[in-house]
């Protein structure tokens, strides 16, 4: 394939000598403790926001399985988020809140639809594969709009799933409090607020399980086959591997994992909307994977958390409708200087940590300056507080030109070196 060679990222070592392992372990601990501190500080909104990040990270991890290791660029991954959400909403409408039943339906429904879509789309490749997955997603999106009994285009409210097993003395729903009393089970409880920890920890555990499963798959014989089919399908077919079946199995597994994310998302939002299946949502998942690092699994988690964090911060400074004007140049620079995403920038040896800290500091300073300049504008991007017309557009184009110049200088040095 023509194009620039992509540097191989060294494998993660489960050792304190690998800074990536240390950072990922610290991140997992922080995420595990976050709901408690959110409750103590009274920031339950942040707990809910991070829970949403974890749910989207599950979807991004499932997409990275087929994109990063199978070369399958799917623009239809949002369909499984919607299917998982409908598995909750349909039962909830008829008064059935049994979480086990809803979860089984979400898994089975997503797997069957992924099997159907994959069986057709995987007979093509390249742009045709992308367009077929996009077409199926849009078909399901418009099908959701037409389902008036379930809210149609307006959507519908849902209740959170009940995972109680009263025969075993287990009484638990995804709406229960964890760090304070629960009125549903404690009649003396006077607390009306939700701490959001139940749905948070359900999402956290599901994300850990998804990452573990995908890592096991890509390092197994199955993973070797789908990676081989991505790099040289003709040779893999010639030596006797039925690559179509392997790729279809990977496609179904990815869709099923994403369906679990949809189940959790419906519980998190307590609302269903066909917008969950729009192709724009699939584009968001692709950006998350690219931002974090394609073919890394951990990078998909970093990308999901990073993108939603940026969205939350930038909407406050630049505006809800214009935050992507800041994200765009950042993605351009990321592709130019780190074509394997944020994960590739993490040092794999301790001696690279000081330089990494310096680079992060420079990046944060540059980003802060960029956001400040972008925030100096009116919403219509015509007049600014400094009196310079179209200042944000100048900042964007200047940033891209500087990035291109730096990339050219870097390549020139490498070539002559």
98 forms beta bridges with 162
pLDDT of residue 364: 77
Look at residue 221 and tell me whether its pLDDT is greater than 60: yes
pLDDT of residue 59: 96
8 A C-beta contact, residue 59 and residue 77: yes
What are the residue boundaries of the structural domains of the chain, listed by start? 19-277, 317-417
pLDDT of residue 381: 43
pLDDT of residue 352: 83
pLDDT of residue 39: 85
Higher pLDDT, 329 or 275: 275
Q: How far is CA 140 from the centre of its chain?
A: 21
Look at residue 389 and tell me whether its pLDDT is greater than 70: no
Tens of pLDDT, residues 251-277 = 999 999 999 999 999 999 989 889 889
Tens of pLDDT, residues 192-220 = 667 778 899 999 999 999 999 999 999 99
247/243 Cα distance (integer angstroms): 6
286/299 Cα distance (integer angstroms): 12
Specify the range with the lowest mean pLDDT, choosing from 41-50, 126-135, 397-406.
397-406
Report CA-CA distances (Å) from 406 to 4, 307, 330, 401, 402. Answer: 17, 25, 14, 9, 6
pLDDT of residue 6: 44
59/186 Cα distance (integer angstroms): 36
89-97's contacts with Cβ under 8 Å and 24+ in sequence apart are 89/150, 89/151, 89/156, 89/158, 89/266, 89/272, 90/150, 92/158, 92/159, 93/149, 93/150, 93/156, 93/158, 97/159, 97/160, 97/161, 97/162, 97/173
268/161 Cα distance (integer angstroms): 10
8 A C-beta contact, residue 182 and residue 172: no
Segment 325-349 shows an average pLDDT of 78
Segment 73-89 shows an average pLDDT of 93
Look at residue 81 and tell me whether its pLDDT is greater than 70: yes
pLDDT of residue 329: 76
Confidence of residue 386 (pLDDT cuts 50, 70, 90): very low
* CATH number listed for the domain at residues 19-277: 1.10.3470
Cα dihedral angle (120, 124, 128, 129), rounded to 10 degrees? 60
pLDDT of residue 32: 94
Residue with tokens 């959110």: 38
Token pair listed for 222: 């199955």
pLDDT of residue 302: 94
260/327 Cα distance (integer angstroms): 28
- Provide the 8-state DSSP code for 96: -
22/20 Cα distance (integer angstroms): 5
Segment 343-357 shows an average pLDDT of 84
Segment 72-91 shows an average pLDDT of 93
Tens of pLDDT, residues 138-148 = 999 999 999 88
pLDDT of residue 404: 67
Average per-residue pLDDT for the chain: 84
Confidence of residue 151 (pLDDT cuts 50, 70, 90): confident
371/276 Cα distance (integer angstroms): 29
pLDDT of residue 174: 84
Token pair listed for 393: 């557009």
- Provide the 8-state DSSP code for 6: P
- Give percent of the chain above pLDDT 70: 83
Look at residue 170 and tell me whether its pLDDT is greater than 90: no
């Amino acid at each position: 394939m023509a194009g620039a060679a992509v540097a191989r990222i060294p494998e993660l070592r489960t050792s304190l000598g690998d800074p990536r392992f240390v950072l990922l372990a610290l991140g997992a601990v922080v995420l595990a403790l976050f709901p408690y501190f959110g409750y103590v500080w009274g920031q339950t909104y942040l707990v809910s926001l991070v829970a949403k990040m974890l749910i989207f990270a599950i979807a991004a991890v499932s997409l990275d399985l087929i994109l990063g290791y199978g070369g399958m660029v799917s623009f239809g991954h949002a369909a499984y988020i919607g299917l998982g959400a409908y598995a909750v909403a349909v039962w909830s409408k008829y008064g059935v809140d049994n979480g086990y039943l809803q979860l089984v339906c979400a898994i089975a429904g997503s797997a069957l639809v992924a099997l159907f879509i994959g069986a057709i789309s995987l007979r093509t490749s390249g742009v045709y594969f992308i367009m077929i997955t996009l077409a199926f997603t849009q078909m399901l999106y418009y099908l959701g709009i037409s389902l008036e009994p379930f809210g149609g285009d307006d959507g519908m409210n849902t209740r959170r799933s009940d995972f109680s097993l009263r025969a075993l003395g287990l009484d638990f729903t995804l709406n229960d409090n964890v760090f304070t009393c629960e009125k549903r089970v404690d009649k003396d409880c006077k607390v009306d607020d939700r701490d959001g920890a139940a749905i948070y920890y359900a999402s956290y555990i599901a994300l850990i399980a998804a990452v573990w499963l995908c890592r096991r798959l890509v390092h197994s014989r199955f993973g070797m086959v789908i990676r081989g089919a991505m790099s040289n399908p003709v040779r893999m077919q010639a030596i006797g591997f039925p690559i179509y079946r392997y790729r279809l199995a990977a496609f179904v597994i990815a869709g099923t994992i994403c369906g679990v994310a949809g189940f959790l998302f419906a519980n998190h939002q307590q609302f269903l909307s066909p917008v969950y299946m729009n192709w724009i949502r699939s584009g968001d998942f692709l950006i998350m994977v690219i931002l974090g690092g394609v073919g890394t699994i951990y990078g998909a988690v970093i990308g999901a958390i990073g993108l939603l964090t940026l969205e939350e911060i930038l909407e406050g400074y630049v505006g809800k409708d214009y935050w992507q004007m800041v994200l765009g140049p950042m993605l351009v620079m990321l592709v130019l200087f780190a074509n394997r995403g944020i994960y590739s920038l993490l040092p794999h040896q301790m001696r690279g940590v000081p330089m990494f800290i310096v680079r992060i500091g420079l990046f944060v300073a540059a980003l802060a300056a960029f956001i400040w300049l972008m925030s100096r504008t009116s919403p219509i991007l015509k007049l600014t507080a400094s009196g310079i017309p179209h200042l944000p557009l100048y900042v964007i184009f200047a940033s891209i030109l500087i990035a291109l110049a730096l990339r050219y200088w870097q390549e020139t040095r490498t070539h002559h070196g």
